[in-house]
């Protein structure tokens, strides 16, 4: 079933655990995440990024398909709009089944990030959307915008506290050593920084680029206060490897896309059982 992202994050935080958020690129991903959540008996966040919406020439079709998969699932799922810097896309979120959005102004300098994020957050809150934003710069995204920051600029705890107060966001994505689009788990998180930011800010923290983070460090980061754990690339690696292996056998897309979907299900299932369950 489809529930608000705010509920999943609040429940995980109250239980001292985390909730996994997985990027959906095609309907096969939504089906795989739903199936894995059903098997594992865990909730999950389905997130569609601005880049994925662009791939589909708009948000509505992929959002409708993903929301329908979630409604029909026996797992508890929510729908999140990820990495939005295009306000016209943000404006489509309430009518497309989303209960939450990430407003991504992280490429901007501090004052511009605050101004952009505060305005978008006020608009989103008027429409009951839960808002995540980023301070510091995780970086590593393909087609990343020209930025006031170098990729990997870490989040400063006291600046983070000010940022949350000034913008009114519901969750904060932080730069603590992860980077987007890593195909190997070779990142190294600064867990002391995670703990210091958690002490300083009143809202739940979000880890981006989790595909590059060793599994035991993800678990440790949750122990230090990280709540929403975003995974994209690891699913793409599983999907593409399985498609590649199945391709020589078949010309029927259902064979190789199905193999990709099964591989994503297995990858998601493993990740979902990594963290302590929400009671």
Residues designated catalytic: 82
Q: Is 149 annotated as a binding residue?
A: no
Q: Is 180 annotated as a binding residue?
A: yes
Q: Classify the phi-psi angles of 177: left when phi > 0, otherwise alpha if psi is within -120 to 50, otherwise beta.
A: left
Residue 23 found at the interface with ligand G3H (CB under 6 A): yes
Q: With respect to ligand G3H, which residue has the nearer C-beta, 180 or 198?
A: 180
Q: With respect to ligand G3H, which residue has the nearer C-beta, 46 or 203?
A: 46
Residue 208 found at the interface with Zn ion (CB under 5 A): yes
Joined together, the tokens standing for residue 10 give: 């609040």
Q: With respect to Zn ion, which residue has the nearer C-beta, 161 or 181?
A: 181
Q: Which residues contact 174 (CB under 8 A, 6 or more apart)?
A: 134, 135, 136, 155, 160, 194, 197, 205, 206, 207
User: Among 230, 218, 242, 241, which residue's Cα sits nearest to residue 45?
Assistant: 230
Site string for ligand G3H, 196-215 (x = CB under 6 A): ------------xxxxx---
- Nearest distance from C-beta of residue 195 to Zn ion, angstroms: 21
197-206 per-residue burial string, b: 16 or more CB within 10 A, e: under 16: bbebbebbbb
Residue 13 found at the interface with ligand G3H (CB under 6 A): no
Question: What separation, in Å, do the N-terminal and C-terminal C-alpha atoms of the chain show?
Answer: 18
> Do residues 87 and 67 touch, judged by C-beta distance below 8 A?
no
Q: Is 224 annotated as a binding residue?
A: no
> Computed over its alpha carbons, how large is the radius of gyration of the chain?
18
Q: Which does 211 bind (CB under 5 to 8 A by kind): Zn ion, ligand G3H, none?
A: ligand G3H
Q: Which does 228 bind (CB under 5 to 8 A by kind): Zn ion, ligand G3H, none?
A: none
Q: With respect to ligand G3H, which residue has the nearer C-beta, 227 or 250?
A: 227
* Interacting residues with Zn ion (CB under 5 A): 208
Binding residues: 83, 104, 134, 180, 208
* Interacting residues with ligand G3H (CB under 6 A): 23, 82-83, 180-182, 208-212, 230-234
């Amino acid at each position: 079933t489809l529930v608000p992202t705010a509920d999943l994050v609040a429940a995980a935080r109250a239980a001292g655990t985390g909730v996994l958020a997985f990027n959906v690129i095609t309907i096969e991903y939504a089906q795989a995440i739903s199936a894995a959540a059903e098997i594992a008996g865990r909730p999950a966040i389905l997130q569609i990024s601005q880049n994925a919406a662009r791939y589909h020439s708009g948000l509505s079709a992929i959002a409708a398909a993903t929301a329908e998969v979630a409604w029909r699932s026996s797992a508890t799922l929510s729908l999140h709009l990820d990495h939005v810097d295009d306000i016209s896309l943000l404006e489509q979120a309430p009518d497309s089944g989303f209960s939450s959005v990430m407003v991504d102004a992280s490429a901007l300098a501090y004052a511009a990030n605050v101004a952009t994020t505060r305005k978008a957050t006020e608009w989103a809150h008027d429409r009951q959307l839960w808002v995540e934003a980023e301070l510091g710069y995780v970086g590593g995204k393909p087609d990343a915008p020209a930025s006031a920051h170098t990729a990997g600029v870490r989040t400063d705890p006291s600046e983070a506290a000010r940022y949350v107060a000034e913008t009114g966001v519901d969750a904060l994505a932080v730069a603590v050593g992860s980077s987007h689009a890593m195909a190997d788990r070779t990142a190294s998180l600064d867990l002391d920084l995670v703990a210091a930011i958690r002490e300083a800010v009143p809202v739940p923290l979000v880890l981006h680029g989790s595909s590059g983070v060793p599994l035991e460090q993800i678990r440790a980061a949750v122990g230090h206060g990280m709540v929403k754990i975003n995974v994209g690339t690891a699913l793409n690696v599983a999907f593409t490897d399985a498609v590649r292996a199945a391709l020589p056998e078949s010309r029927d897309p259902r064979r190789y896309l199905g193999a990709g979907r099964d591989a994503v299900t297995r990858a998601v299932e493993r990740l979902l059982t990594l963290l302590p369950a929400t009671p």
